[in-house]
Each structure stands twice: as structure tokens, then as C-alpha cells.
Structure 1
């Protein structure tokens, strides 16, 4: 437990960059996975405990990081999907690359940025910082919500909105009479869960900010 606290606080504090995939430690100049940010679960896991443990200062580097990510993500949303708002996929780096990087099995996950952005809602839930909520968290969530309202399309007779093509990170499945592994589908369960959480969190944030 204490070792985990040490790993986060030594890699992410104050005005530093957020903790990357391997933290500060590397045996050489080239780090595993280029020392980037995996926002398809790894980065989320690194910060899940930050506010619960009172390590609010360890989460502060995410503020400026998200501002830069969302700014680049607006360009990706427009160029790739013709959508407003912002989006980020499975991997990014210090240059804030928000387009899919790598094969579809790893990278084609348009909900990953929104999933990571929910960490900022956790910031408010623990700190009750109204200023941070209004000036940082709410615009961030609103941009993600705006993207999905543009991006999702009805794919069922009842008008149900679907995401996709998309994938559940590092997951695969087989279809009937086909032994080959598939990775891409419409509205994988992870997308439905994240979009639901995003929209409900945004409504809660609006209510707390007095904008509901």
C-alpha cells in the first residue's frame, strides 16, 4: 500500500507531467512502450486511488494535461468523425496524439479519452472544489458529451444510439463458424458503460455547478 503511494507521488506531483506507463524508472534511454500514456485502462488505474487516499496534489498534473489533450482531440473529432467536441483513443504521449495509434485491436477505442476524463469528476467528488468543477471539469466533460452526441448514430428500429466501429481494449471474440479472432464491433459493452457514466456524471456536474 505505502509502496503504491510512493510510486504515484514520485511520478506525479504539482506541475510535473502525469505519471506515464512506467513512471520515472527506466534502465535506458528507451522505455517500454515508449513510456507513453495508455488511456485504455493503465493510466486510469494509476490515478484511481489518488483522491481516495487524499493525494490530491498527485492528481494536479492531470489538469493541464487534459486541457492540452482536449484541444488536440477537437481536431481529431472533426477530421476523423466530422463531430464537434473532443475525442482521444487508446494511446497518447507527451505530444498529445489523439488519433488511433496502432492496430484496431489496441487503438480503435473512441471512449478511452472520456473514460480518463471521468477521473476529473472524481476530483470534485472528493475535494468539493467548486472553482475547479466550473472552470476545468465541467468544460472537459461537456466537450466529451458533445462529441458523443454527434458521433453516435441510431442503428436499431427503436432509435437506440450506437457507438462504433469500436472495440473493447485488448479483447477479442469469435463469430459462429469462424475460428478467426475478431476485435471490432458496434457498441461494445465498455462503450455503453463509459458513455452512460459520462452523461450521468455530466448531468451531476451541471447540477452541482448550478447550470442544470
Structure 2
């Protein structure tokens, strides 16, 4: 009876989804799901395993958006810089919702496309002014963000499946669970896209006499 009640509650909050949706997130790594008892799940959740995952992801996105904003400003793209700053505001003030994370992800993708197009269009026009210091600062922030994204990989891509009942028993709130699900599904693809943008930015900087910080080049190792 308790199990049916818990599942009904999850259905009401939209959390009772197929296990395939969570295939990329190894919650067993945090002691949640699988063969763990509810007591162990609660201990793991309270120890901050999922919380740390969210914190690292949010921090990575803040660095990425800061980098994109600086790069856009350096290229004279004030509208894109403003978009990055607005998206960053969604990540302040507590745990963001899955919807907010999705908005941030969409903005990042749009900004990456805008920046890459700008790098390409100006590659053959070295006379167009670029704020070199702002560009270098942007490379440093974007490189740091990509590095933080890469550090998430040890927590993603596992074979564990989410046990909804264990999540409820552990005391995890629905917003946190949904946010963790979004990260599991989206982070790997976002990392590849951001690494591609960083690579294009480094190439542009190298061909325009702009200083490239070491964090930017080291973040691209392995890609």
C-alpha cells in the first residue's frame, strides 16, 4: 500500500517517468536507488551527493555565461552579451528548476551559434576592432566553465536507475529530482557544444594576436 501511495504521489508531480529518462545519471553512486535501503538513501541524499552535482553544474554554467558575455562584448555584440547576463540571473537565488536550467541551456546554445558565426565572418577581416582584453577574459571564463562541465562526467553516464520511492523516502524534493534529471540528460551534449565554441574562440584569438590563457587550452584536452 505504501508503495502504491508513493507512486501515486510521483505521478501527481510528474516525476514518475521511465527509467530510460534517467539512464545517464548514476544515482546509485550517491547511494540512491538500486539495492540501497531507504535509510542509506536518506543518508546519501543528506550528505549532499545530488546537491553537489547541482552546485557544480550551476557553477559551470555561470562561468560559461560569463565567458560568453565577455566574448560577445569583445566582438561588439551587445545584444548577445545582455542575453548571457540575463540567463545568468536565472541561476541565482537557490536551486534552479528544470525549466530554468532548460532556458539557460537554450540561451547558451543560441549564444554559441552567434559567437561562432561572428568568429567565421570576421576571420577574413582583421581590420574589424576587437577588445582583446575582454576576449582574453572571456576565454578564461569559458575555459573554466568547460573544465567544470568535464568534471561532471564522473557523476554521469552510469548504469544506475532512479528509484522514485527511494527519492521520496530520502527527503529529496521534486524540484531537485527534476533538475538532476535535466542535468543527466543534457550535460553531455552541452559539454561537446561548448568545447566546440571554445575551440573556435581559441582559433580566432590565435589568428588575431589575442592572448590565450592556459585554462582555455587545457580545457580542450581530450576533445
Bigger proportion of residues as helix = 2
Work out which structure has the larger RCO, using CA pairs closer than 8 Å and 6 or more positions apart in sequence: 2
TM above 0.5, yes or no, is no
Larger CA Rg, structure 1 vs 2: 2
TM-score in terms of structure 1 length = 0.37
